[in-house]
Structure 1
Amino acid sequence: MKVTCHVIKDMLPLYSENMLSEDSCKMVEEHIEQCQNCKNDLNDMRTFNEVPVNRDVSPLLKIKSTLRKKKIQTVILSVLFSMIFFIVAFAFLTEPEYIPYNERSVTINEIGNGSVLAQFDDSINGYDIDKYLTDDGYVYHVTTWTNIWNRNIKKSHINNTLLNPNGENVTSVYYYNAGVSEDVLIFGQEIEPDGGVITLPRLNLSYYVIIAAGLAIVSGLVMLINRRNKTVFTFSLKLFFLPVAYLIAHLLIKGFTSTSYAAIRDFYLILLIVMPLYSAFILMWHLTSNYKNNKTLL
């Protein structure tokens, strides 16, 4: 019986894999000796056409570099926010808690040769002393404070201090109660016999808040006007981040209050937060921009 090409072609895959019986193999071989078309089909099956492999690894290296960069940026961002957290925690723990005047908190004594000594109670962890010159001599304003850190964690006490180590003439020493009431005269003569003396908090931080808010508004307007100009927009955005970082840092340290009896301390703490916070803003902006660019490419 003559076998058709259709039957042989159905058997060729099995034949090429040596999966036919001996009789079937013999039948296929006899046919392909007579049929060139089937023989060509068999040769095609036996020919292994290797699929070309793209050996260019540069895209993979680029992906690896991008992932490594993102990982580093994420670590840096975590470090920056950790720094902010620890600074805020330190500010909270060391925030001065001003102590209202009592006779035990501080005593002023003249010890000879015109020297005036301030002696503090053991419960006092810190003090502030301001002085200014009058026609009769120097007037001193003293206050004392404690804080959570010194009271509960690092228990420490302050030493007595000499108010006039250079022999200044001490006219008066007042104890100010940090906005609670009028200053209390604890040594010397009253400089305002017709009225009380009140030590007011510093307003420096208020001015800085106003400047920062103004700069944020101006840079924000510049961004809005030049949103199509990439160079100007980028510059104004980076400038915008700076006052915003200051305002947030002020909020973290002082809340919604802008007056302070420890303005220098508070200002330095605010600056310590501004630096990592501003860096975090810039880094987050870069991460967001890269994400948007990659999403656009996809």
Structure 2
Amino acid sequence: MNRECNIVKDIISLYVEDMVSRDTRTFIEEHLEHCPECRSELEHIRKPVELVTDMSAAPINDLKKKLFVRRVQTVLFTTALVLAIAVSVFAIMTAPRFFPYSRSLVQVTEGQNGVLTITFDNSVTGYGYTVRGDKERGTEIYCINAWDTVWDKHITDRGQQNIVITPTSNADIAVYYAQNNGSEDVLIYGLNMDDNAGTVTLPRLILIQYFGMAMLALTILIMARFLFRRREKVKIWLNRIIPFPIAYILAHICTKGISFYSYSAQRDFSIIVLVAILLYCVMLAGGSLYKAKKERKS
């Protein structure tokens, strides 16, 4: 390879792209006529480049899978959030508002064979009662209450409410009205049983126990999260568990506010748990969506 070949090889790519002057072109073409090596170099440059295309569908399938998972998470997040709000609003609107006793609120009528009909005022949309008996003393004691709700008052019409009590024996019957406002139960029918005189029906405080358990669980989980912050597998599971006590606390606040008293504890607890499960789903789905968005930005 002589000096002239070196010069031609340095500028032959410009020659191919027609980026040289006329004199330079003439010089290169004259050199190519008697130099096989440079002609070979020219043919190599002019040879089309074959692009190797990766026809594997794996990247596309992975992308489709990620988009599908993200779509499912978005649907789950939206659905759970809407349901949590709807259940919370429904719980507030259907929360019983208990009536204090008045003569016009409830009437007791005695029929044949000792059958009692308890009729409520039209403002009453719901009622409940419990019964206990003392076989040795031959007594049956009924304790009733009555309420309305925002839902019943503005949306539904349940009509007049009444209770029919059929005694199971020849026992003496007493019917008390529980006011559920801190006042004494009122005897509205029958004999005044000494053991029930002056009774005050109090709300249950069981909700504060569950709230306290949720707070305690949250504290323990946060401490465990700090202690095991360098153990990736444990940290992942703790990150999945921690939102549930948070969801329960938020569910209690959404449905009961900061009150822990309840005259219908079973109903209130069931609604709180339902809302907590929905909020837990919201947190998990929302966390996954936030993490995916953060990864895209990075």
What is the TM-score of this pair, normalised by structure 1? 0.79
Q: Which letter does structure 2 place at the counterpart of 1:270? A: I
Distance 1:141 1:54, change over 3 A: same
Could you say which structure has the greater relative contact order, defined with CA pairs below 8 angstroms and 6 or more residues apart?
2
Q: Are 2:130 and 1:130 aligned?
A: yes
| 1:20 matched residue in structure 2 | none
Once the two structures are superposed, residues 9-68 of structure 1 have per-residue CA deviations (whole angstroms, 9 ceiling, x without a partner) of: 69944779xxxxxxxx99997775356576456534532222333333322321221122
Q: Which letter does structure 1 place at the counterpart of 2:276? A: V
Distance 1:211 1:13, change over 3 A: closer
From 259, 266, 275, give the equivalent of 1:264: 266
| 1:176 matched residue in structure 2 | 178
Distance 1:10 1:210, change over 3 A: closer
| 1:107 matched residue in structure 2 | 107
Q: Distance in 1 between matches of 2:282 and 2:105?
A: 44
Q: How far is 1:234 from its partner? A: 3.7
| 1:202 matched residue in structure 2 | 204
Kept in 2: contact 1:178–1:200 (CA 8 A): yes
Q: How far is 1:137 from its partner? A: 1.4
| 1:98 matched residue in structure 2 | 98
Q: Which letter does structure 2 place at the counterpart of 1:277? A: L
Kept in 1: contact 2:251–2:275 (CA 8 A): yes
Distance 1:153 1:203, change over 3 A: same
- Consecutive unaligned residues in structure 1, runs of 5 or more: 17-24
Two-structure CA RMSD over aligned residues (Å)? 3.6
| 1:240 matched residue in structure 2 | 242
Q: Which letter does structure 1 place at the counterpart of 2:91? A: A
Distance 1:233 1:40, change over 3 A: closer
Q: How far is 1:203 from its partner? A: 1.9
Paired residues in the alignment total: 286
- Consecutive unaligned residues in structure 2, runs of 5 or more: 1-6, 20-24
Once the two structures are superposed, residues 95-114 of structure 1 have per-residue CA deviations (whole angstroms, 9 ceiling, x without a partner) of: 11222222232111221212
For the residue of structure 2 that corresponds to 1:202, the secondary structure is: coil
Kept in 2: contact 1:138–1:168 (CA 8 A): no
Q: How far is 1:270 from its partner? A: 1.2
Kept in 2: contact 1:182–1:196 (CA 8 A): yes
Kept in 2: contact 1:115–1:167 (CA 8 A): no
Q: Distance in 1 between matches of 2:237 and 2:290?
A: 17
Q: Distance in 1 between matches of 2:129 and 2:64?
A: 59
Q: How far is 1:127 from its partner? A: 0.6
| 2:222 matched residue in structure 1 | 220
Kindly, what percent of the aligned residue pairs are identical? 28
| 1:73 matched residue in structure 2 | 73
Q: How far is 1:261 from its partner? A: 1.0
What is the TM-score of this pair, normalised by structure 2? 0.79
For the residue of structure 2 that corresponds to 1:113, the secondary structure is: helix
From 144, 152, 155, give the equivalent of 1:153: 155
